Amino acid sequence: MEQQDNLIIEQKIVSVLKTVYDPEIPVNVWDLGLIYKLDIDEQKNLEILMTLTAPNCPMADALVEEVQETVSRIDDLNQVNVKLTFDPPWFQDLMTEEAKLELGFL
């Protein structure tokens, strides 16, 4: 049952992440491929591993904070921790088909 619960929570997380948009690109962080990993432990604490489209993004802190605050509103979770990484670096192939279409890459 725990695995099924986590799947339901993950669906909620993805749904919420699709409401957070990169301030410089009109696509959400999930479809841009900025979220590398979602890790939920037994206590329903979540760790999000994410990146940015560029390491020198001037909106980095604000975007990480928005992801943290938005996902923290999910009742099923206890703590949410967002970690920023640039390894591996983000590249366009990480985007969903919808994002590529939206940005004219298809």
Measure the CA–CA gap between 44 and 20, rounded to whole angstroms: 22
* pLDDT more than 90, % of the chain: 77
Supply the pLDDT for residue 64. 95
Which position has the token pair 């695995």? Answer: 3
What domains are defined for the chain? 2-101 (3.30.300.130)
pLDDT one-digit tens code per residue, 21-70: 988 888 999 999 999 999 999 999 999 999 999 888 888 899 999 999 99
pTM over 0.75: yes
User: What's the first-to-final CA gap in the chain, in angstroms?
Assistant: 40
**Predicted pLDDT of residue 73:** 96
Please give the residue that has the higher pLDDT: either 7 or 69: 69
SS3 33: coil
CB 84 within 8 A of CB 60: yes
